[in-house]
Chains A and B, each alone.
Chain A
Amino acid sequence: MSFEILTYAFMHRALIAGTAIAILCSVMGLFLVLRRYSLFGDALAHSSFGGIALGLFAGIYPLWTAYGVSIISALLITKIKERYNISGDASIAVLLSSGIAVGLVIISFSGGFSLDIFSFLFGSILLVSVDDTVAIVALTGVILMIILLLYRQILYSTFNEKQAKVSGVQVDKINYLIIILAGVTVVTAVQLVGVLLISALFVIPNVTAIMYGRGFKQTMFISMTIAVSSVIAGILISYVFDITPAGTIVLFAIGVLAVTMGIKSAGLLSKN
């Protein structure tokens, strides 16, 4: 393998943006997985597909409409769950299909699938611009800063809502915050792996890390490491073999999970 690929500017951008997204998704994902919201990212990604189609149709930068739709959907899922007493997984299913349905109808109005739509469906990390890269890194920084500032409250309400409430944590506000941050994270990450594979980035590194980690911070660190290695390895391998980066990234992460499960079955990891 030649190191020539590391000299290309587009490759630099892809690796920087990819690393930022990997860190962001693994951190947000850990909270979502532990809150039993593993498919939440998937639902938001699918509904943001509707937003992307809307943007392309209306001639607005599609990620902006996607952010809007994703955040609104995130809040809607929560409201529907609360107000109509529909279970979490069912409300996610409703929203997931609505997003795709809206997207498909808008696309058919605008005369069928275009190349742009495909790049959002399957990711286009090698095509990120300098502006995209700056925006991705900045958003990652802001979201991580918010999480760091409210770390105890977010962790506590993830661990046990009732006890957090008794301790004076404003659990309802924290829940909304997590949901909005997840909405923003999903759309940011769409550029890396596309709408269809988002939840892989949220869930797989975390499910793996939970098997290794002792404490929360350690688990978070392991998850970040797995996510970042998967993204970097995935981008480089896919380039060398001329295959899709999104699929390669996710397969690499699944490989790490499979190896971890093997180690665990062999009894080399503690029971939890």
Chain B
Amino acid sequence: MLNAVEISNLTVKYPDVTALDDVSFAIKQGDFLGIIGPNGAGKSTLFDSMLGLNTNYDGTIKFFDEDIKKSKTYRKEIGYVPQKPEFENNFPATVSEVVRMGLRKKSDDKKVDEILQQLWIHELRNRRIGELSGGQLQRVFIAKALVNDPKILILDEPSTGVDQQSIDLFFSILKELNSKQGITIIWSSHDLDAVNKLANHVACLNRTLFFHGKSETFFSDDKLVKQYSEASMQEHMHHH
């Protein structure tokens, strides 16, 4: 099957630190990839590079066999859900207005309605976004990312600071998007258990690629998990 994403020898150097060092891996179409790694492991840098926000890297990033530095159309295929949906708290926009912002084709009202229903936020469509709970807001931003029917959904540690019920709903939505609609999902998370449950592939990042493969391979290998935990722990101590 065609590779949805192919990253080859990706290196990103900042003046004082190498954020990513020679990272290579491929994601097949329909995969559900969980990216794990301690704080400062380069996850954000990897995402920024994939999303075209950071162009200052060595190596290549390809989406559907097209180098993103040369392709102008690749963005169409990507939906992106940010870590924290940042906006002015009193920004006067309704849920449906926010979802519509993501729309490339003008006034596709049916599509917007469909997505709102699919994500259980149709009832909220005329509410101002500042009035929503964290979980509701998260679904609004997923809806915005999905409104152009992307083939790939990229989520940056999205489950932080949301209540358990919303997290469960969020996970079931992700699962459905992946298994029923065949959307390739790239999801960075701190939550190892959740990654174990949902993702079929795992990439373990700590500036270099520490592991990439099937999740059962990773999670059934106690040594690997232990190594990862120790690395995270060290990083954690290092940060404090």
Binding site for B on A (CB under 8 A): 34, 36, 152, 155-156, 159-160, 162-168, 209-210, 213-219, 270-272
Contacts and interface: CB of A to CB of B under 8 A. Distances in A.
Given A155-B101, A156-B101, A34 B88 contact: yes
A166 B94 contact: no
Contact of B101 (A36, A152, A217, A270): A152
Nearest to A36: B88
A262 B131 CA distance: 21
Given A159-B101, A166-B51, A167-B102, A213 B82 contact: no
B92 A271 contact: no
Nearest to A213: B92
B237 interface: no
Nearest to B92: A219
Contacts of A36: 88
Interface in B97-117: 97-98, 100-104, 106
Q: Which of A156, A167, A213, A214 has the most CB of B within 10 A?
A: A167
B90 interface: yes
19 contacts: A155-B93, A159-B87, A159-B98, A160-B85, A162-B53, A162-B86, A163-B80, A163-B144, A165-B53, A166-B51, A166-B53, A166-B75, A167-B75, A168-B75, A214-B128, A215-B93, A216-B97, A270-B128, A272-B90
A169 to B, nearest CB: 9
A166 B131 contact: no
Q: Which 9 A-B pairs give the minimum distances between C-beta atoms? A: A215-B94, A219-B92, A272-B130, A168-B75, A156-B101, A213-B92, A166-B80, A216-B93, A166-B51
B126 interface: yes
A215 B126 contact: yes
B103 A216 contact: no
Contacts of A166: 51-53, 75, 78, 80
A163 B92 contact: no
Nearest to A155: B101
A272 B51 contact: no
Nearest to A214: B128
Interface in B69-95: 75-76, 78, 80, 82, 85-94
Interface of A is mostly: helix
Contacts, number: 76
Contacts of B103: 152
Contacts of B86: 160, 162
B128 A215 contact: yes
Nearest to A30: B92
A214 B126 contact: yes
Q: Which of B89, B101, B104 has the most CB of A within 10 A?
A: B101
Interface of B is mostly: loop
B53 A210 contact: no
Contacts of B128: 214-215, 270, 272
A167 B103 CA distance: 9
Given A162-B53, A272-B131, A210 B90 contact: yes
A16 to B, nearest CB: 29
A160 B92 contact: no
B83 to A, nearest CB: 11
Interface in B39-54: 51-53
Contacts of A168: 75-76, 104
Contacts of A152: 100-101, 103, 106
A155 B101 CA distance: 8
A78 B42 CA distance: 31
A166 B77 CA distance: 11
Nearest to B78: A166
A209 B78 CA distance: 35
A165 B87 contact: no
A34 B52 contact: no
Contacts of A209: 92
B167 to A, nearest CB: 22
Contacts of A215: 92-94, 96-97, 126, 128
A88 B108 CA distance: 37
Contacts of A210: 90, 92
A21 B91 CA distance: 24
